Structure 1
Amino acid sequence: MAARSIFLALTRNARRDKKIPFRSMSSSIEAVKQEAITSTHEGSMDEFTEEENDDLKSRIFRLRLPKRSVINVLQKWVSEGHKITLSDLRSISKDLRRSHRYKHALEISEWMVSHDEYQISDSDYAVRINLMTQVFGIDAAERYFEALPSSAKTSETYTALLHSYAGLKLIEKSEELYERIKRANLSLGAITYNELMTLYMSVGQLEKVSLIVDEMKRQNVSPDIFTYNLWISSCAAALNMDEVKKILDEMKIDSGCDENWIRYLNLAKIYINSSHLANSDLCSLVESEKGVTQRELISYDFLVILFGGLGNKDKLDQIWKSLRMSTQKMTGRNYVCILSSYLMLGHLKEVGEVIDQWKQSSTSEFDGSMCNKLLEAFKEVGMTDKATSFHMVLREKGCDPLDESR
Structure 2
Amino acid sequence: MKLSIFFSSVAHRKIYLRQSLTRFFSSSATNYYEKPKGFYSLYQKISPIGNPNASMLPILDNYVKQGRKVDKPLLVCIIIELKKYRRFKHALEVSEWMSSKAFFPMTVSDAASRIHLIYKVQGLEQVESFFNNISQHIKRDPVYISLLNCYANERCVEKAEDLMQKIKELGDVRNVGSPVFYKVMMNLYYRVGNYAKLDDLMNEMKEEGFNIDKSALSIRMSAYAAASDAEGVNKIVMMLESDPNLELDAITFTVAAHACLKVGLVEKSLQMIKEVERLTKSRKKKYEGYDALLHFYSKAKKKDEFLRIWDLCKQETIFNKAYISMMRGLMMFDDLESMENIFQEWESKGMPYDFRMADFLIEAFCRNGHLEKAEVLIEKGISRGGVPCATTWYYLAGGYITTNQLPRAVDALKKAISICPHDCPLSKNSLSKCVEYLESGELRKTEEFKSFLEKEGLFSAIVRDKLFQLLSSEENLS
Please state which band the TM-score falls in when normalised by the shorter chain: 0.5 to 0.7
CA contact (8 A) 2:257 2:273 kept: no
In 2, distance between residues paired with 1:296 and 1:302?
Answer: 10
Question: Do residues 334 (structure 1) and 328 (structure 2) align?
Answer: no
2:74 aligned residue (83, 88, 107): 88
CA contact (8 A) 1:133 1:164 kept: yes
Match of 2:387 in 1: none
1:126 aligned residue (112, 122, 130): 112
Match of 2:349 in 1: none
What per-residue deviation string (whole Å, max 9, x for no partner) do you get for residues 191-239 of structure 1? 2222222222222222222222122122223344322221232234442
Which residue identity is paired with 2:334? Answer: L
In 2, distance between residues paired with 1:181 and 1:317?
Answer: 38
Match of 1:188 in 2: 177
Match of 1:270 in 2: none
1:245 aligned residue (215, 235, 247): 235
Question: Do residues 62 (structure 1) and 52 (structure 2) align?
Answer: no
What per-residue deviation string (whole Å, max 9, x for no partner) do you get for residues 142-178 of structure 1? 1101111111111111111111121222222222222
In 2, distance between residues paired with 1:58 and 1:321?
Answer: 38
| TM superposition shift of 1:56 | 0.8
Larger RCO: 1 or 2 (CA < 8 Å, sep 6+): 1
Match of 1:307 in 2: 264
In 2, distance between residues paired with 1:54 and 1:231?
Answer: 42
In 1, distance between residues paired with 2:291 and 2:12?
Answer: 23
- Cα 1:207–1:333, aligned 2, differ >3 Å: closer, same or farther? farther
| TM superposition shift of 1:88 | 0.6
In 1, distance between residues paired with 2:222 and 2:168?
Answer: 26
In 2, distance between residues paired with 1:21 and 1:223?
Answer: 25
Question: Do residues 105 (structure 1) and 45 (structure 2) align?
Answer: no
In 1, distance between residues paired with 2:243 and 2:123?
Answer: 43
**C-alpha root-mean-square deviation of aligned residues, in Å?**
3.9
| TM superposition shift of 1:355 | 7.7
Match of 1:206 in 2: 195
- In the superposition, the TM-score normalised over structure 2's length comes to 0.52
| TM superposition shift of 1:87 | 0.8
CA contact (8 A) 1:305 1:337 kept: no
In 1, distance between residues paired with 2:269 and 2:12?
Answer: 32
Match of 1:283 in 2: none
Describe the SS at the equivalent of 2:53: coil
Gaps of 5+ in 2: 1-7, 20-38, 281-288, 314-321, 340-362, 369-373, 375-394, 400-478
Question: Do residues 22 (structure 1) and 16 (structure 2) align?
Answer: yes
| TM superposition shift of 1:62 | 2.5
Match of 1:36 in 2: none
- Cα 1:305–1:323, aligned 2, differ >3 Å: closer, same or farther? farther
Question: Do residues 168 (structure 1) and 154 (structure 2) align?
Answer: yes
Percent of aligned positions that are identical: 22
- In the superposition, the TM-score normalised over structure 1's length comes to 0.61
- Cα 1:251–1:154, aligned 2, differ >3 Å: closer, same or farther? farther
Describe the SS at the equivalent of 1:184: helix
Match of 2:465 in 1: none
In 2, distance between residues paired with 1:193 and 1:370?
Answer: 37
In 2, distance between residues paired with 1:249 and 1:368?
Answer: 31
Match of 1:365 in 2: 326
What per-residue deviation string (whole Å, max 9, x for no partner) do you get for residues 270-298 of structure 1? xxxxxxxxxxxxxxxxxxxxxx5447765
